[in-house]
Amino acid sequence: MTKTLETLAARIDSRFGDQAQRVDSTCGELTYIVASENLTELAKALRDEPDFGFDQLMDVCGVDYLTYGEVEWSTQSATEEGFSRGVERTPVILDEADGFDPQRFAVVYHLLSVKNNYRVRLRVYTGVSNPPIVPSVVDIWSSANWFERETFDMFGVLFEGHPDLRRVLTDYGFIGHPFRKDFPLIGNVEVKYDAEQGRVVYQPVSIEPRTLVPRVIRDDDRYTADLKDSPDNG
């Protein structure tokens, strides 16, 4: 990590203490986990205080950590029966009556300070509430308006205090949230034009579910650096 970011990290650690938990980075970027109840106060300070000056919110996005860390697409080898994902994949069975895993859903904020040339990322877990919910930051950065609507649309995260939280990418009658890991790849419903009724109607999905099989890249002479571009490598 650069000296500039280390200086910024020291300022954040000194100013916010336990309110911002620094996350180890493998790519030299500065990321902090912030509790939902601390988000609004911390965001205002990051925007207004001269040591930070994060006047621009560049992006807000959702994350679904369901099955995070599980290796589904291991393609270094294959058996006579096929690929592990296609043959032995265990279905995801969810019981959400009592709420979600506290770290299943997160909302990530990418901040930029133009004056200080700083960038920082905040990660806020939504907790166990169903539906997941975090405070809106529209009153702090107006650019959050459509970003939060997109996150709501794709992940089903509610933003408390948002002035107009509606779907922005899917149709008004769309069922579910497409970026959730348990959302079926074929969807829940499909639409078509009904000539008899003279309008578009919803109906159950008619597409048959199927398992996509990845390509296996094998270790042999065809893939060595010396031979892969050779005209004789057929």
Bridge partners (DSSP) of residue 32 are: 22, 122
Q: Kindly state whether residue 74 falls inside one of the protein's structural domains.
A: no
Q: Kindly state whether residue 199 falls inside one of the protein's structural domains.
A: no
Q: What is the share, in percent, of the chain residues with pLDDT greater than 90?
A: 57
Q: Kindly state whether residue 220 falls inside one of the protein's structural domains.
A: no
pTM attached to this predicted model: 0.77
Q: Kindly state whether residue 215 falls inside one of the protein's structural domains.
A: no
Q: What confidence tens digit (pLDDT) does each residue in 191-229 have?
A: 889 999 999 888 888 877 666 655 565 566 665 666 555
Q: Is the peptide bond before 131 cis (omega within 30 degrees of 0)?
A: yes
Reduce the DSSP state of residue 148 to 3 states and report it.
Answer: helix
Q: Kindly state whether residue 140 falls inside one of the protein's structural domains.
A: yes
Q: Kindly state whether residue 96 falls inside one of the protein's structural domains.
A: no
What's the number of domains the chain is made of? 1
Q: Kindly state whether residue 202 falls inside one of the protein's structural domains.
A: no
Q: Does pLDDT of 22 surpass 50?
A: yes
CATH number (domain holding residue 35): 3.30.460.80
Q: Which domain holds residue 61?
A: 3-66+101-182
DSSP readout, 101-142?
-TTSEEEEEEEEETTTTEEEEEEEE-TT-SS-EEE--TTT-T
Q: Kindly state whether residue 221 falls inside one of the protein's structural domains.
A: no
